Amino acid sequence: MLETILMVCEANMCRSPMAEMIMADRLPGKTVMSVGMCALPGRPADRATVQLMHERGYDLSTHVTTLLTLAHAKAAHLILTMTLDQRSRIERAYPFTRGKVYRLGEHDDFDVADPYLQPRAVYEESLAQIEVGIDNWIPGIRKCG
C-alpha cells in the first residue's frame, strides 16, 4: 500500500509544496509531505508560490521548508521528484529507495521547471506541469491502495 508520499524539489519553497498540497487534496487519507534536497530548514514558501496557490484555494502561508533526511526516505512508500537529476541523487544517497523514487513527470518524460525568482508565467507553467504529473500518478496510487 502507498500510504506515505514524499514530494521532493531543491529548496522546498516552490514546486514540492505546490505538489504536496495538490496531491493531499486529491488523495484524502494519504500522508503527503514535501522536502527539499538542499532546503534551508524553517523558511517560508516563496511569496509568489503562496500567492499562486492562494488564488487556487490552497493555503501555503504556514509552510516551512524541510531538508530531505534518511528518515524521510525510509518512511515514504513513494518518492516523487521534480527532476531526473533529483531522482538520481536520491538513489545515490539512499540506494534502498530504488523502485520507490520516480520523477513526477515520469509518465510523460518531463522535468518540472523551477520557477524560483522567475516571471509569474514560469510559476504557472510549473504548476500546470505538477498537475499533469499528479493526474498521471493518481490512478496507479489508487490501484495500489
Active-site residues: which are they? 9, 15, 114
Strands (E), 1-145: 4-9, 31-36, 78-81, 101-103
Beta bridge partners of residue 44, listed in sequence order? 64
By CB atoms closer than 10 A (0-12, 13-18, 19+), residue 145 is exposed
User: Computed from CA positions of residues 94, 81, 78, 31, in that sequence, does the dihedral angle turn out positive or negative?
Assistant: positive
